[in-house]
Copies of this chain bind each other. A is one copy, B any other.
Amino acid sequence: MSKTPGEIVDEAKTWWTTEIVDIQPGKIGIRGYPIQQLIGNVSFPEMIWLMLRGEVPRADQAKLLEAALVAAVDHGPHAPSIAISRMAVTCGLPINGAMASAINALDDIHGGAGQQCMELLQEIDQALAGSEPSIEVVEAVLASYVERNGKIIPGFGHRWHGTDPRAVRLVAIVREAQARGTVAGRYTTIATLVEEALGRKKGTRIPMNIDGITAAIYLELGFPAPLGRGLFILSRSVGILSHAWEQSQQGGRIKGPMPPSVSYTYAGPAARDLKR
């Protein structure tokens, strides 16, 4: 029996359902709060938290989130996402388009390390089953992780930095937050043990990087792993926008990855004729 118009309309009205925002003429409610009460009263990181999780965080929680957001905004034009943003501008794209092509590239490898590190730290936490973090459990999970996922441990080691100055600073900040009772510090301890375990195994220091410490912070604050990638994107978007804007001021048309004087290498078949 086919549906009545009333049934169809009811179905259509529930097709798009959200707990985030309620819009009526002259009224915008965010998670229940009138938008005009939020504007000027909550910080931008508090608003990010409210949108993602449904409640306004405490000020000390928001401050820790804010430190992580500030830390990851940029890592220069050799990062593919930044290069893509700048190249896109010289192709004629407006800022939204340049940001889209660049943010798209923040996928598993270029933007997913934080999320993957959160998953690893959670796996270690589960293996600990409530007991104090220990190097033995960390080493066991790491061995299993490497077997399943290969040698790269997300959140540790950096191609440029022997020590990542962002990580050092954020570790200090999260420890201060722990001292004030903002967070438990457990995931940060686990991350530090991962660093130690990797150093033992490799015989050289494999330092925690920005992805590693922000992973710990986001877990301390109760974010699920996929939002680790989301928060990183919100942060790196600032760099992507800034480089798009700077490139637009520098000018340039159809900017290639290297200057024209540096040719690329053709390694295919020698010249040949088409037989038809």
Contacts and interface: CB of A to CB of B under 8 A. Distances in A.
A91 B163 CA distance: 23
A227 B241 CA distance: 9
Contacts of A242: 20, 51-52
Point out which of A27, A40, A248 has the most chain B C-beta atoms below 10 A from its C-beta.
A40
A204 interface: no
Nearest to A111: B96
Contact of A92 (B45, B54, B110, B266): B110
Contact of A268 (B6, B19, B44): B19
- Copy number of this protein in the oligomer? 4
A129 interface: no
Nearest to A276: B41
A137 interface: no
A199 interface: no
A271 B21 CA distance: 11
Contacts of A79: 254, 256
25 contacts: A4-B5, A8-B12, A11-B261, A15-B264, A16-B265, A18-B265, A18-B268, A22-B271, A23-B160, A30-B73, A35-B169, A36-B169, A43-B44, A44-B66, A47-B238, A56-B274, A78-B257, A80-B90, A90-B110, A91-B111, A93-B104, A94-B107, A96-B229, A100-B103, A226-B245
Interface stretch (A81-89, A118-126, A140-148, A189-197): A81-89
Q: Which 9 A-B pairs have the closest CB atoms?
A: A19-B268, A100-B104, A32-B269, A92-B108, A91-B110, A257-B257, A92-B109, A92-B107, A5-B5
Given A101-B84, A241-B234, A271-B32, A94 B19 contact: no
Interface in A249-276: 250, 253-274, 276
Contacts of A73: 30, 47, 51
- Interface bracket on A: 35 or more
Contacts of A52: 238, 241-242, 245
A135 interface: no
A107 B91 contact: yes
A112 interface: yes
A259 B17 CA distance: 12
B230 A241 contact: yes
A109 B229 CA distance: 20
Interface in A226-242: 226-227, 229-230, 233-234, 237-239, 241-242
A111 B256 CA distance: 14
A38 interface: yes
